[in-house]
Amino acid sequence: MCREVCYTFRLPGFLLSLGYIFMLEGDYERGAALNEEAAALCREHGYKSHLDYALDNQGWAALLQGDHGRARTIYEESLMVSNELGDRMVASDSLEGMACISAAQGKALRAGRLFGAAEALHEAVGAVAYQLNPEEESWRQPYRATACSRLGEDSWEDALAQGRAMSMEEAIEYALSTQEHSATTPSSPTRHSSLFSAPEHPAGLTSREIEVLGLVAAGMTSARIARELYLSPRTVEAHITSIYHKIGVSSRAAATRFALEHNLA
């Protein structure tokens, strides 16, 4: 009916919800297609309140089909949108997806930290608002078990504690980072927190945004930056939009001036 009357405001929500039902039934390809349609409508009409949900669902569809590279790229965009909206529920879901990818890649410590960060956000949202059904639990459990087994019970609990000590912004920064922190586990919550304190960057830019800004200042196109950083062009554009907003500019030339003035290029 929404399609018949061209009522686009509610349509993305119906599409992403129906797509997720298909995913729960094991039809990941059809579920992904409906969520891609929902995300496209959100971008076209500026419906960000549904965009992070559609992206998160696409991330799980890609992960469940074994495409970890694509899943990571989609989760990165989902986390960026969730951070902008302050949406802890979707952020926690995408952090778990990133944790699963880390576990699959043998990065058990990173996986534990991300699972811990997601758990803290679950509790902040509330048990009633965030409850996984058995199918959703089954998506995550093999990865949790693999990472826990790799670390050992004590180190696993310590990794979870480190993640739980992060704020949402710190957890997202950590998930988006390409650098790994030391595997040495601190012994107190205070040291956990300081380990993950985000570096002080001008205008509140994240480490990834600093990286993108430097390449923009070097004269690279979005397509080349995407190839350089192994991101999708869409994710690069999302980073650039966020950078422009934070530093108060509207062009690459102005962004380049900012980068040069702050020794970022």
258 and 234 in one domain?
A: yes
150 lies in the same domain as 253: no
Are 67 and 51 contained in the same domain? yes
pLDDT-flagged residues of the chain (< 70): 127-130, 178-200
Q: Tell me, yes or no, whether 109 and 178 share the same domain.
A: yes
Whether residue 98 is found in the same domain as residue 154:
yes
Task: Determine the pLDDT at residue 209.
Answer: 86
Clarify whether residues 2 and 53 are in a common domain: yes
Same domain, residue pair 159 and 66: no
- Number of domains into which the chain is organized: 3
Q: Are residues 189 and 216 in the same domain?
A: no
pLDDT of residue 130: 64
- 65 with 110, same domain: the answer is no
Note the pLDDT tens digit of each residue in 39-90: 999 999 988 889 999 999 999 999 999 999 999 999 999 999 999 899 999 9
For 168, the domain range is 86-197
Q: 43, 69, 84: which is the final residue of a domain?
A: 84
**Which of 23, 50, 84 finishes a domain?**
84
pTM beyond 0.85: the answer is no
Task: Compute the radius of gyration of the chain from its Cα atoms.
Answer: 19
As a three-state string, the secondary structure of the chain is CCCCCCCCCCHHHHHHHHHHHHHHCCCHHHHHHHHHHHHHHHHHHCCHHHHHHHHHHHHHHHHHCCCHHHHHHHHHHHHHHHHHHCCHHHHHHHHHHHHHHHHHCCCHHHHHHHHHHHHHHHHHHCCCCCCCCHHHHHHHHHHHHHHHHHHCHHHHHHHHHHHHCCCHHHHHHHHHCCCCCCCCCCCCHHHHHHHCCCCCCHHHCCHHHHHHHHHHHCCCCHHHHHHHHCCCHHHHHHHHHHHHHHHCCCCHHHHHHHHHHCCCC
Q: Do 99 and 179 lie in a common domain? A: yes
